[in-house]
C-alpha cells in the first residue's frame, strides 16, 4: 500500500512498542492518532511530535473512544492503517505453590484487554476502511495485531497472557478471510523479548537471562524494529493472514 495521503491509528501508543510505532509513522510522513489510557503520556507524545500526531486518550474496550479516534484519523487523511499494540498481562500460575487457584477475574481482564480490545478496534476500523476508494490492487486498508511468542510457547505463569495472545493469533486468518472482499489485509506480529523502557530497566542478571536464549542478534529487539515491520507489512500487498515472529530465533523455555 502506498502510504502517501494515508492516516493511521496506533493503540497503546503512549509507551513502549506503541510509542516507537507512532514515532516511526510520523517520521515517514503518516499522520497518526495515538490511543492510550495514559492521558498524560498521550498528550506528551503528541506535543513532542507535532501536527502529524493527534492524541486521543481512551480505552480500546469502549466503542465511543474508538469511534472518536477513527473520526480523528479520517480528518488527517485516508484512514487506512491500524496498529493494535495495546495489551498486557499478569504472571500467575493456574494453581499457586500454596494451592491458591488463579484469579478468574484476572484471567478475564487479560483476555478482555487483549482479545476483546483488539477485536473491538479492528471491527470498527474495518467498517470505516471499507468505505475507502480501493487502490489499483483493490486494497483499502491494513490491520496489524500484536501478539507474542508467548501465544505460541507460553511459559510457566503465563497462562492468562498466553491464552490472550493465542486468541489474537487465532483471529488473524479468519479476520483476513472475512475482510478479503473489502480489500483489507490482516497481519499479526508476535514479538519476542523487546527492549522497551521497562525491559531495559531490569537488573543486569535478569537481562542476561532474557538474552541467553536469543540466537542472533544476541540482544533484545529494538522497538524501532517492531515499528519498521509494521511499515513493511503495510507496504507489501501480498502479506495477509499470517503471523510473523520478531524474536531473533528465540524459543521460550518452560521458565
- 25, 79, 107, 161: the catalytic one is 161
| 230, β-bridge pairs | none
**In 130-244, which ranges are continuous DSSP H helix?**
150-153, 159-179, 197-200, 204-212, 223-235
Virtual torsion, Cα 113, 119, 122, 124, nearest 10 deg = -100
Between strands 78-84 and 243-246, the pairing is unpaired
Picking from 128, 55, 54, 120, the residue whose alpha carbon sits closest to that of residue 87 is 120
CA dist., res. 244 & res. 247, Å (int): 9
Q: Is 238 a catalytic residue?
A: no
Locus of grid cell 507524545: 45
Q: For 221, which DSSP code?
A: B
Mark 40-76 as b/e (b = at least 16 C-beta within 10 Å). Answer: ebbeebbeebeebbbbbbbbbeeeebbebbbebbbeb
Which residues are designated catalytic? 161
Amino acid at each position: 500500500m502506498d502510504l502517501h495521503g494515508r492516516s493511521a491509528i496506533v493503540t497503546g501508543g503512549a509507551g513502549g512498542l506503541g510509542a516507537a510505532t507512532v514515532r516511526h509513522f510520523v517520521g515517514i510522513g503518516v499522520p497518526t492518532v495515538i490511543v492510550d489510557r495514559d492521558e498524560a503520556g498521550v498528550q506528551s507524545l503528541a506535543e513532542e511530535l507535532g501536527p502529524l500526531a493527534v492524541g486521543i486518550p481512551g480505552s480500546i474496550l469502549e466503542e465511543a473512544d474508538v469511534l472518536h479516534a477513527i473520526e480523528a484519523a479520517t480528518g488527517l487523511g485516508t484512514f487506512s492503517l491500524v496498529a493494535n499494540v495495546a495489551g498486557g498481562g499478569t504472571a500467575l500460575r493456574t494453581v499457586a505453590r500454596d494451592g491458591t487457584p488463579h484469579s478468574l477475574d484476572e484471567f478475564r481482564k487479560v483476555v478482555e484487554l487483549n482479545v476483546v480490545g483488539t477485536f473491538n478496534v479492528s471491527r470498527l476500523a474495518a467498517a470505516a476502511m471499507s468505505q475507502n476508494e480501493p487502490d489499483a490492487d483493490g486494497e483499502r486498508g491494513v490491520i496489524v495485531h500484536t501478539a507474542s511468542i508467548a501465544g505460541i510457547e507460553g511459559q510457566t505463569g503465563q497462562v492468562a497472557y498466553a491464552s490472550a495472545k493465542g486468541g489474537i493469533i487465532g483471529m488473524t486468518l479468519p479476520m483476513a478471510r472475512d475482510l478479503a472482499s473489502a480489500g483489507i489485509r490482516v497481519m499479526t506480529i508476535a514479538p519476542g523479548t523487546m527492549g522497551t523502557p521497562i525491559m531495559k530497566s531490569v537488573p543486569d542478571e535478569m537481562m542476561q537471562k532474557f538474552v541467553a536464549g536469543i540466537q542472533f542478534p544476541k540482544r533484545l529487539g529494538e522497538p524501532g524494529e517492531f515499528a519498521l515491520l509494521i511499515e513493511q507489512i503495510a507496504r507489501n500487498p501480498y502479506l495477509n493472514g499470517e503471523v510473523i515472529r520478531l524474536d531473533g530465533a528465540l524459543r521460550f523455555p518452560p521458565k
